[in-house]
Structure formats: structure tokens, C-alpha cells
Copies of this chain bind each other. A is one copy, B any other.
Amino acid sequence: MTGTESWFQGHLQELTREQCLELLETRSVGRVAFNTPDGPEVLPLNYVVHDESVVFRTSPHSGLGRQLQVAAAAFQVDDIDDYTESGWSVLLRGSVRPVEFEDLPPADRRPRTWVAGVRSLHLRLLPTTITGRRLLPG
């Protein structure tokens, strides 16, 4: 046992789909992961939850916007507490598709981005699986 080792370690608990969706609603920044010719890419961005999927905005000229044709993507959200050494993480796995105008959330529930600049392309990650785990303090 080293000086920084905890006396008690935490335990992982699987979250239900309902708990995952509830936690997903509590955050405003998540991370989209997708594969590129140079390996996996992970980008934090603002999002909203809409119809049990995640909607976010990007520039059509961004790496993410250009690589839309990738079939598979994941979206990850977590909350980590360094003091109690606990937290939770939720992962949606599925595919990313552009959102047609008529399928956008109502105007007051669309994603807004913290970053300045044109983010005219709305993308939706439609999950095939939603999983999550909570790490309970030891």
C-alpha cells in the first residue's frame, strides 16, 4: 500500500437505461468519439437530449462535420468527484446522422455552443446502446 492508496476502494454499480438518460440530462458538455484514419478522436462539445438521442452542433467544415460518413460513434458524459473518489459515466453507442430541419428540437431546446463561430450543422447520435456505471465511494 503506497502513501496515496485509499484504505477503502469504491465499488462499481451498473446503471439502468432510465438512470443513464436522467444523468445525461444533467450535463451540458459531453464527448463524442469516432474513428478516423489516424485512430479514435475524442471531442468535447455542448449537447441536448432529444427523443432519447443526443443532438449537437458543429461546423460543416470541421473534422467531425466532414467525417459524418463514419458509421459508428459514441457519446460519453461523466461527473467525477476527486474528493470522494467517486462519480458516474454514461456511454451512448450508435451512429451519427445530420438532423433535418423538421426534425430539430423546438427552438428553445436546441443545443447552443459555448464557442463562438458558425456551427450550422446539427448532428444527432442515435444510440443503439445506452450504458452507464456509478462508482460509489469506498
Number of copies of this chain that the complex holds: 2
Chain B residues with CB under 8 A of A8: 116
Residues of chain A at interface, number, CB under 8 A: 51
Q: Which of A54-97 contact B (CB under 8 A)?
A: 71-74, 76, 78, 80, 82, 85-87, 89, 91, 93-95
Inter-chain contact B38/A93, CB cutoff 8 Å: yes
Query: Closest Cβ of chain B: how far from A110's Cβ, in Å?
Result: 8
Q: Closest residue of chain B to A29, judged by CB?
A: B80
**A29 to B28, alpha carbons, bound, how many Å?**
19
A112 and B2 in contact, given A40-B40, A82-B28 (Cβ under 8 angstroms): yes
**A49 to B39, alpha carbons, bound, how many Å?**
21
Q: Which of B28, B42, B116 contacts A31 (CB 8 A)?
A: B42
